[in-house]
Structure 1
Amino acid sequence: MTTTMMAALRFGVVGALNSLVGLAVIWALLRLGVGDYPANACSYAVGVCLSFVLNRAWTFAVRGPVGSGEVARFLLVFALSYAANLGVLTLMRALGFAHSLIGQGAAMAAYSVCFFLLSRHFVFAAGRLAR
Structure 2
Amino acid sequence: MPPEYAQLLMKLVKYGVVGGFGVAVDFSLTYLAKEKLRLNPYVANAIGFSVATCVNFFLNRIWTFRSHDPAILGQFGYFALAAIIGLGLNTLLLRWLYQRWKVPFYVAKLISTGVVVIWNFVINAFYTFA
Aligned-partner Cα distance in 1 for 2:73–2:9: 28
Structure 2 residue corresponding to 1:74, chosen from 74, 79, 96: 79
Give me the TM-score of the superposition, normalised by structure 2. Answer: 0.67
The amino acid of 1:46's aligned partner reads V
Instruction: Render the CA deviation track for 1:16-59: whole Å, top value 9, x for unaligned.
Output: 112223455567x67xxx72439946544432221010011111
Gaps spanning 5+ residues in structure 2: where?
none
Q: Which moved more, 1:106-115 or 1:8-17?
A: 106-115
Structure 2 residue corresponding to 1:4, chosen from 8, 12, 30: 8
Residue in structure 1 matched with residue 102 of structure 2 by the alignment: 99
The amino acid of 1:99's aligned partner reads K
Does the 8 A contact of 1:84 with 1:114 survive in 2?
no
Q: Does 1:110 align with 2:115?
A: yes
- Report how far residue 111 of structure 1 moved: 0.3
Identity across the alignment (%):
23
Aligned-partner Cα distance in 1 for 2:64–2:121: 10
- Report how far residue 118 of structure 1 moved: 0.4
Q: 1:12 to 1:71 in 2, by over 3 A?
A: same
Residue in structure 1 matched with residue 70 of structure 2 by the alignment: 65
Structure 2 residue corresponding to 1:56, chosen from 57, 61, 68: 61
Give me the TM-score of the superposition, normalised by structure 1. Answer: 0.67
The amino acid of 1:111's aligned partner reads V
User: How many pairs were matched up?
Assistant: 117
- Report how far residue 64 of structure 1 moved: 4.4
Aligned-partner Cα distance in 2 for 1:35–1:7: 36
Does the 8 A contact of 2:15 with 2:121 survive in 1?
yes
Q: 1:47 to 1:103 in 2, by over 3 A?
A: closer
Rg larger in structure = 1
- Superposed CA RMSD in Å reads 3.4
Structure 2 residue corresponding to 1:47, chosen from 46, 52, 73: 52
- Report how far residue 107 of structure 1 moved: 3.0
